[in-house]
Chains A and B, each alone.
Chain A
Amino acid sequence: DQQVKQNSPSLSVQEGRISILNCDYTNSMFDYFLWYKKYPAEGPTFLISISSIKDKNEDGRFTVFLNKSAKHLSLHIVPSQPGDSAVYFCAAANFGNEKLTFGTGTRLTIIP
């Protein structure tokens, strides 16, 4: 039972345009969400997070949106750059429990 789902295995976006990566979750106990970025042959690195008391969090070119009623979050990257080409994982947890549950990942390719 996949509690965190990323339904798009891959996404291609022109350089300079907006990249939107989506993530859905089924466990209503989740109240903290994170995005990780992974390059080939490297470990995932933390990108941005959001708690359930917010519906938006920004960090430079990266913005995460949370829609609790729809159990949906998205990561927006504006403008997209070639260095953003990577696999992006969505992850979820609940406060008081350090374990992260990951989605299956979306491979983002930025086309120059």
Chain B
Amino acid sequence: NAGVTQTPKFQVLKTGQSMTLQCAQDMNHNSMYWYRQDPGMGLRLIYYSASEGTTDKGEVPNGYNVSRLNKREFSLRLESAAPSQTSVYFCASSEVGSPTEAFFGQGTRLTVV
């Protein structure tokens, strides 16, 4: 029962470096999401994808890009990391068409120094 798998689990970047966070789900869900969690801010939506080939901005998209590679995979890219992007990132997936519960990965803890 893999569910939603995120890699890596931890990462330290220098300011200005780039990296891609990977996410894959095996539940045949159409919708996938990227959230970030910061102290006192809860979970904020960065980008989401309602289906393969479509993506849309969430609440905090600046500084990020996404790719919905296929139905299973949804990646998040930081082109030029900034200390403000230090956060815990969660990928999630859900069935399309209704706000049913989303299933989350274990998270990626990213530190930008």
Contact = CB atoms under 8 A, between A and B. Distances in A.
A103 B94 CA distance: 19
A49 B99 CA distance: 10
Contact of A43 (B41, B98, B107): B107
B111 to A, nearest CB: 15
Interface residues of B, number: 28
A102 interface: yes
A99 B45 contact: yes
Contacts, number: 66
Interface in A58-112: 89, 91, 93-105
Interface residues of A, number: 28
Interface string A25-38: 00000001010100
B80 to A, nearest CB: 27
Contacts of A49: 101
A12 interface: no
Interface of B: 4, 31, 33, 35, 40-45, 48, 50, 58, 90, 92, 94, 96-107
Interface of A: 4, 6, 9, 32, 34, 36, 41-46, 49, 89, 91, 93-105
